[in-house]
Structure 1
Amino acid sequence: MKIGAVLRHTFLHLHGVGPRTEARFWREGVLTWEDALRHPLPWLAPWHRELLRAELEESCRRLSLGDALHFQALLPAGERWRLLADFWGHVACLDIETTGLAWGFNVITVIGIYDGQEYRAFVRGHNLHLFPREVRRYRLIITYNGQRFDVPFIEAEMGPVLTGIAHLDLMYVLRRLGLRGGLKRVEVATGMARPSALQGLSGYHAVLLWQMYRRGHRGALDTLVRYNAEDVVGLLPLAAYAYNLMTAPLPLSVAPLPVPERPELSLPYDPALVDWLLEGEEREEEVV
């Protein structure tokens, strides 16, 4: 029989519980928080039993409130993937484009979010100021390398607009599964490669596209937004893929997350401009 989302069967967020103790819970047939609240837990000291019961009651309450941040704060960093199934309907995948790599010096040009239904772009000089309000609709954001890049950039420029929203950096989960490198490389390795002709573009090209847009090049902004969209819409399928692989070795019969199809994007872009950018890169390689 398949049981529900893995968070309800997780004990690692409790005081004094590590992987061995969690495994002991499962071996003893204590598979859920409700099981633990009913079980005598004789292998624990009396004070520890009482503390854990109080924490489990609080866990049930927080989950009923949809408080993903509570569990992010208590779970080991490498186990935050366990949030995914319970908050799947309240997730936004997020990716930013910037004028360079140094947050606090360079600035954000585009923030893209995708919630499984709709992609939205927030563009500097247009609607970037709406992002703080819109992102509050979600309880969990998913990024790729966002812990070191996207989130610090957003906080440096916009302040604590992500406070109260849990964050899962998918890059670290995928590394645990042996998948390393940039996002496009991981997409190829998992059979989820983007079909777009923009496959060859990189963050460096995103910087160039913004510069070209600022100089009045027609099509540059559309191409930049499409590039951002290609990055962000691939995160949700990868998140489900990673969740299912991470749950597979657990001694639990956990229902897998359906892996959504990567959406086919119809956002406009300038194919001639993309070709020119990629040909320019080839010319530079020939010179070197």
Structure 2
Amino acid sequence: MIDKTFQLIKGIGPVTEKKLWELGFKNWKDIIESTCPENFSSNLWEKLTSELPAINRALSNFKIIEIKKYIPKKLRWQLIPTVIDQIAYLDIETTGLFPSDSYITTIAVYDGNKIYNFIRDQNLNEFPEFIKNYNAITTFNGKQFDIPFIKQELNIKIPHIHFDLRFLLHRLGYSGGLKKIEKKLGINRGDLTDIDGYCAVLLWNKYKRTKNERYLHTLLAYNNEDVINLETLLYRTFNGLIKKYKIPFELIKINKKSFINPLKPDMDILNEIFEIYKEYS
């Protein structure tokens, strides 16, 4: 669908793009195979016909460095349909807010079909090689939280196309944390509704002290729920932006949440954590 966008070319904004659509040019192929229409800038047309083939080649070969060069950050969300089967929905849990004095405890990745968990002192070191399987990632506030932690602790680069829902949702008028936005959109977390990041810290600390797997499994269930919901949020965000900007893209079909979290929280463990939480709040 990104091939319906002409704002990738310097000098073309929303007004000129709309004019091209009205003239019958629905995609890059239409431009490349046509001659400059009357009453249209010959300079802009030359830019279109010379630059669009290069952008198309970069996308066909999926050369991320070139794609980032050609497609401005503000327009990269329009790549979502192009990479929809190549997205890793990613979320981390940590012992604190800053990489300088905290560390990653778990990472959850959902690819639309399966959940993958990476756990400190178990298989966290496998994450750098694993994430290379994907061309894009989706996070919530990952640019400011998840990615800085991952880069520092695992000493890797994350060159992927990155859809950060915190900032994309802000364009649609949604602000606040992930769970607040989920609630506004009617996304239900079931037994995990009242758990937050601090509860995740408590669960990890209890697991490390006791080695009781029930604490770890409850933490992983929470981490999993975050990434499962990111898929629905991404689709709804894309559709919302299409409607807001009145772009002639097809909407993404949103199916009722069908993927079931493979891990369930232990309710006795949750009640224990909530009691500890109350003591510190």
TM-score scaled by length of structure 2 = 0.91
1:87 aligns with 2:75: no
- Are 2:150 and 1:158 equivalent residues in the alignment? no
Q: Is the 8 A contact 1:15 1:52 kept in 2?
A: no
- The 8 Å contact of residues 66 and 87 in structure 1, kept in 2 or not, is answered as no
- Verify: 1:274 aligned to 2:270, yes or no: yes
Other-structure match for 1:136 = 132
Please tell me whether the aligned partners of residues 118 and 127 of structure 2 are also in contact (alpha carbons under 8 angstroms). Answer: yes
Aligned CA distance change for structure 1 residues 74 and 259 (closer, same or farther; 3 Å): same
Once the two structures are superposed, the pairs formed by residues 78-227 of structure 1 within 5 Å of their partners are 78-163=74-159, 165-195=160-190, 197-218=191-212, 219-227=214-222
**Match of residue 256 from structure 1:** 251
Aligned to 2:5: 10
Per-residue deviation, 1:50 = 2.6
8 Å CA contact 1:142–1:170 kept in 2: the answer is: yes
Q: Report the secondary structure of 1:87's partner residue.
A: coil
Shift of 1:209: 1.4
Give the Cα–Cα distance (whole angstroms) in 2 for the partners of residues 166 and 202 of structure 1: 27
For residues 255-286 of structure 1, give each alpha carbon's deviation from its aligned partner in whole angstroms, at most 9, with x where no partner exists. Answer: 2112143322131432111112223334555x
Q: Secondary structure at the match of 2:133?
A: coil
Q: Distance between the aligned counterparts of 1:259 and 1:248, measured in 2?
A: 15
Q: Is the 8 A contact 1:103 1:156 kept in 2?
A: yes
Q: Does the residue aligned with 2:117 lie in a helix, a strand or coil?
A: strand
State the alpha-carbon separation in 1 of the partners of residues 195 and 7 from structure 2: 40
Contact 1:68-1:83 within 8 A present in 2 as well? no
Q: CA RMSD in A?
A: 2.0
Distance 2:29 2:66 in 1: 19
Which amino acid letter does the alignment assign opposite residue 157 of structure 1?
A: E
> What does residue 242 of structure 2 align with?
247
1:193 partner SS: coil
Checking the alignment, whether the CA contact within 8 Å between 2:199 and 2:277 is kept in structure 1 is: no
| Most deviating of 136-145 and 14-23 | 14-23
Q: CA deviation at 1:60?
A: 1.4
Distance in 2 (alpha carbons) for counterparts of 1:73 and 1:191: 37
**Could you say what secondary structure the match of 2:241 adopts?**
helix
Give the SS at the match of 2:25.
coil
Structure 2 contact 88–138 (Cα < 8 Å) conserved = yes
**Could you say which residue in structure 2 is the equivalent of 1:40?**
36
Unmatched tracts of structure 2, length 5 or more: none
Deviation at 1:166, TM superposition (A): 0.9
**1:250: Cα distance to partner?**
4.5
Q: Shift of residue 41 of structure 1?
A: 4.9
Contact 1:78/1:173, CA 8 A, preserved across alignment: no
- Aligned mates of 1:193, 1:78 — CA distance in 2: 30
Match of 1:19 in 2: 14
> Would the alpha carbon gap of residues 271 and 39 (structure 1) be closer, same or farther in structure 2, given more than 3 Å must change?
farther
CA distance in 1, matches of 2:277, 2:206: 16
Which structure would you say has the larger RCO, counting Cα contacts within 8 Å and 6 or more residues apart? 1
Residues 72 and 170 (structure 1), Cα distance of their counterparts in 2 relative to 1, 3 Å cut? farther
Aligned CA distance change for structure 1 residues 41 and 220 (closer, same or farther; 3 Å): farther
Q: CA deviation at 1:212?
A: 1.2
In 2, Cα distance between equivalents of 1:251 and 1:200: 37
User: How many pairs align?
Assistant: 278
Runs of 4+ in 1 over 6 A off after TM superposition: none
Identity of aligned residues (%): 33
After superposition, the C-alpha distances for 1:68-123 in whole angstroms (9 at most, x for unaligned) are 55444443433321111111011110000111111133111111100110011111
For 1:12, give the aligned amino acid: Q
